Chains A and B, each alone.
Chain A
Amino acid sequence: MSILYQNKAYRRTIIISFLLVFWLTIIIIRLLQLQVFEHARWKEEVQGQNQDEVKILPKRGTIYDRRGDIMASNILRKSVYYCPSKGEPYELRIEKINTLKDVLGLSETEIRNIRERIKKNSPFIWIKRKIDQSLEERLGKLSLGGVYLVDENKRFYPHGKLAAHLLGRVNIDDEGLSGIEFRYNSILKGDKGEYLVMRDAKKREYLIEVLKEGKPGKDLSLTIDETIQYCAERELEKAIIKTEANWGTVIISNPSTGEILAMASYPACDLNGPPQNLTILERNKAVHYNFEPGSTFKIVTFAAAIEDGKISNQAIFDCSQGYIPIAGKYVRDHERFGVLTFPEVIVHSSNVGTIQISRSLSEDAFFRMIKAFGFGEKTGIDLPGEESGILRPLDGWTRSSLAFLSIGYEISVTPIQLLQAINIIANKGIVIPLRTVNKKPDFPKLPMETNVERQRVISEDTARKLTSMLERAVQEGTGISAQLKGYRVAGKTGTAQKIDPSTGNYSPTSHVASFVGFVSAPNPVLSMIVVIDEPKGRYYGGEVGAPVFRDIASHVLRYLEVPQQKDYLRNIRAENPWRRAER
């Protein structure tokens, strides 16, 4: 009995042991298979399920105006993407996209691109990025498998179209495309960060490990003043609509520091609008547009003549004929002036007188003066797309070049170059580089940074004499519409005929009207250039540009609390020389 029992027990033990060993062997084999032979595959699978390497796009830096108001910042928007699951039929994928098409308003081009990605079996497909908040809820109700939402930063411009050309725009990946956004892209954009996110079975994140620390973009403080910018844009828009002009631009600066306080161009558009509408912002006419300046360029001619020293203030010029022949053409004044003294020539903007003055100059001296004022070269302002204008080299000049150049023809300049030229006069002959960004992160009132590069262009005496002449031009000459009660203004008008591209000759109906000047007393507090392209009806710089200068400057001076001067509190002259000319 006991032997039998012992045999049975022994057999059972053997069988159970064998089964256990067999089971253990299978377990070990399976473990070996999973942990050793297929280790890499399963590790990848697990990591795919509970670990994600997430790249975080850096937040773009905020752009502030000089007083700390936000000009450009970021807001969170949802982006829609699609991760097709394995084995999902192509037709089902397309059906999902067609459903999304109606909700998100996808264009045919976008649909085509998505279909191509689906055909290529892409694991990740952007459907629409940075969608409006209204679409988020509608999308949530659809609950389409494989369609997810992710937060992304979207550039937001709280003031819409304010300073649109200057600020520029960014693309969908927040890379600067134009303006300040492009010029300072490397500072604003920051560095991407990488994180390892661990998730549990319910996809809840429980550990975030920083693989690479991302850096948000740095903030930027502009020299632009939001209020001055707004004044400039409002008055420019009024003038363009009133004169039915094509476009216009205004730049305002603080001549003693080189800071640009406003840079306005019209037409402009809302920077938060659809990207296809924003293409007009790619060219900032204030720094890009080349034009023949006409009479505003006479400031260079007079600077050269004063520096030359051959002509005294008492010298007289016979302008009684009202025209002067140059190379078979007649250059005319806008009215007959009779005999004018040296200062009166610029005060009344006589072409005939200016050409006579230019005859006292050597071509070489005049060319050097033009170059010294910075024409033919970029000013170096910190904005993209700046043009250098067109100044022919001296050996390319004809016999008539000196005469035509003296009255602002045969040369192309940009508005910013003309502003720099008037700043040289305002700064007593010294050129101070122009800029749009404050190097310091504080926002003090004027005057500000003075530690800038200084280079003398004309003598202080020449600048003083020229300032006096330009003040007379506003008091009694062509710039009378720029007068400001309580302030001394120095400025020069310009009216240049445009070339008709169809004939290649100067058009009798197309003009560029301009005014460049500065508020000169007690110290130059602001300088401004106004350029208006092809105004209809009245087209003289004194009629179109000078009033814009006056209207903007009166607001800005009040805003800056610049005290009026007693000497200039008397009533300004009521008579407009342009009306006199019409009579």
Chain B
Amino acid sequence: MLVVAFTVIVVFVLSFYIWHQMESVRIGYTINDLKKKVKELSEEVEKLEAKRSQLLSLERVEKVAKEELNLAEPREDQIIRDDSNL
């Protein structure tokens, strides 16, 4: 009886140990995947910020304004300044 009980305990401990190991590895995979995801998203944010900066570069904005939207620099007489503080 004692032997059976001992065997059951040993089997239980071993099973728990194996389950623990398996679970640790599984969580390791999940953590690693999430870390990768975070990194990818950070990279994506950085890439989009750079892209935004590129699209808003003044050379491009001026080109689009002048060539596609037919806008022009304001003439001096078209500029109204707030001279109240003079």
Q: A residues engaging B (CB < 8 A)?
A: 69-70, 73-76, 156, 158-160, 162, 198, 200, 204-208, 226-227, 230, 234, 485, 558, 563-566
A576→B86 CA distance, assembly (Å): 29
A207-B57 contact in complex given A70-B49, A74-B46, A76-B43, C-beta closer than 8 Å:
no
- Flag whether B67 is at the interface (Cβ < 8 A): no
Chain B nearest Cβ from A581, distance in angstroms: 28
Question: Interface on chain A toward B: helix, strand, loop, or mixed SS?
Answer: mixed
- Flag whether B59 is at the interface (Cβ < 8 A): yes
Chain A nearest Cβ from B36, distance in angstroms: 9
* Contact (Cβ within 8 A) B28 A230: no
* Contact (Cβ within 8 A) A206 B58: no
A206→B27 CA distance, assembly (Å): 8
Since A73-B53, A198-B28, A564-B83 are in contact, a sample of 14 more A-B pairs with Cβ atoms closer than 8 Å, ordered by chain A residue number, is A70-B53, A73-B46, A73-B49, A75-B46, A75-B47, A158-B50, A158-B51, A159-B54, A162-B57, A206-B32, A207-B25, A558-B79, A563-B83, A566-B86
Chain B nearest Cβ from A346, distance in angstroms: 30
* A residues near B51, Cβ cutoff 8 Å: 158
> Can you give 12 contacting A-B residue pairs, CB < 8 Å?
A73-B49, A73-B53, A75-B47, A156-B50, A158-B51, A159-B53, A162-B59, A205-B29, A227-B58, A558-B79, A564-B86, A566-B86
A158-B57 contact in complex given A70-B50, A73-B46, A564-B86, C-beta closer than 8 Å:
yes
Nearest chain-B residue to A206 (Cβ)? B28
A74→B43 CA distance, assembly (Å): 9
A485→B77 CA distance, assembly (Å): 12
Chain B nearest Cβ from A215, distance in angstroms: 16
For chain B, residues 1 to 35, give those with C-beta under 8 angstroms from any C-beta of chain A. 25, 28-29, 32, 35
* B residues near A226, Cβ cutoff 8 Å: 58
Question: Interface on chain B toward A: helix, strand, loop, or mixed SS?
Answer: helix
* Contact (Cβ within 8 A) B85 A563: yes
Chain B nearest Cβ from A136, distance in angstroms: 15
- Flag whether B68 is at the interface (Cβ < 8 A): no
A159→B56 CA distance, assembly (Å): 9
* B residues near A198, Cβ cutoff 8 Å: 28
* B residues near A70, Cβ cutoff 8 Å: 49-50, 53
For chain B, residues 36 to 70, give those with C-beta under 8 angstroms from any C-beta of chain A. 43, 46-47, 49-51, 53-54, 56-59, 62
